[in-house]
Amino acid sequence: MIEGPKADGHNVFFKDPFRTELASQYVYSLVHHSKRLIRNDGSTLFGPSNWEDIESLMSQSIDQTTNMMAGKRLADGLHLAARGSKLLLLMFQTEMKDVNMINPKYSSFEQMPLEMMPTVKQVQAIGTRGALKIAVKHTTRCLVVHSRFILDKEDYHTGGRISQIENFHDESCMHEATECFENLGSVVSYCAYLFCISEKIALDDPAVLILIRDEFDIELQHCLDDLPDRNKTSTKKFTKILTEYFIGSIRGDFSLPLFVGLNKLMGYAKDMINLGIPL
């Protein structure tokens, strides 16, 4: 789920969406049943063994597609990335399904059975602030690097880019890149919730909102610097579109305060009113 299928008898990994899909179904099933698969010490049998496992799943959309501009290899790499990000999100959802997600301000890690929550345990071990920043970084990179597949055609044009979705592999890239980005956005929501638990604050507290905004701005600028030169007008439009997509990706049932707070902080309150979202 991290490197892709392995060649029989060789330490060589390769992209094979059929094997990846089969492995995914087994792994997702293990996650769903993980709370019933308990060792003698009370820990679960399934979950990440260290933080590197978690970050590897976050970074696949870039790591598995380096130097790939289009075609089957890119589609296969994004397929693996989408399945990996879904696995990570599913681990968070499964481990925290019994947690009161209404207000992290009144929750604590002392109340959580961390031996049965291996993903949450690794986030706490590395530090919730650092984990949230890393999640924002990888989500931003996925959005920018694969923006020609994630953004709508109209948004490409408005942002000064031209969509060139020409074949089956490009359509696959659109589906897989979008799924990966949306999964990572949800992971940001869970990391933000865990950060708020550690800080004893609400999801719309300025401390968490500013942290996310600043990390997004920093990574966005780094990514834009690596893209082909564009004029100031198109860059400004493109930045606005990317920001809107990023905020939209972290909108969920429990994270609505985070979504609303980021819209206010990043200057999109008027757009929210136009959409009928109360402030």
Please give the span between the terminal C-alpha atoms of the chain, in angstroms, as a whole number.
40
Whether 7 is covered by a domain: the verdict is: no
Whether 88 is covered by a domain: the verdict is: yes
Query: Can you give the pTM of this predicted structure?
Result: 0.88
Whether 132 is covered by a domain: the verdict is: yes
Query: Kindly report the CA angle at 181 between 71 and 35, in degrees rounded to 5?
Result: 115
Model pLDDT for residues 73-127, shown as the tens digit of each residue: 899 999 999 999 999 999 999 999 888 888 888 888 988 888 889 999 999 999 9
What's the domain count of the chain?
A: 1
The domain of 265 spans 17-274
User: What is the distance between the alpha carbons of residues 124 and 12, in angstroms, rounded to a whole number?
Assistant: 33
Phi, psi of 44, deg, nearest 5: -80, 155
* Inter-residue contact 72 to 169 (CB < 8 Å): yes
Whether 194 is covered by a domain: the verdict is: yes
Whether 3 is covered by a domain: the verdict is: no
Give the chain's mean pLDDT. 86
* Inter-residue contact 35 to 116 (CB < 8 Å): yes
What is the greatest pairwise CA distance in the chain?
62
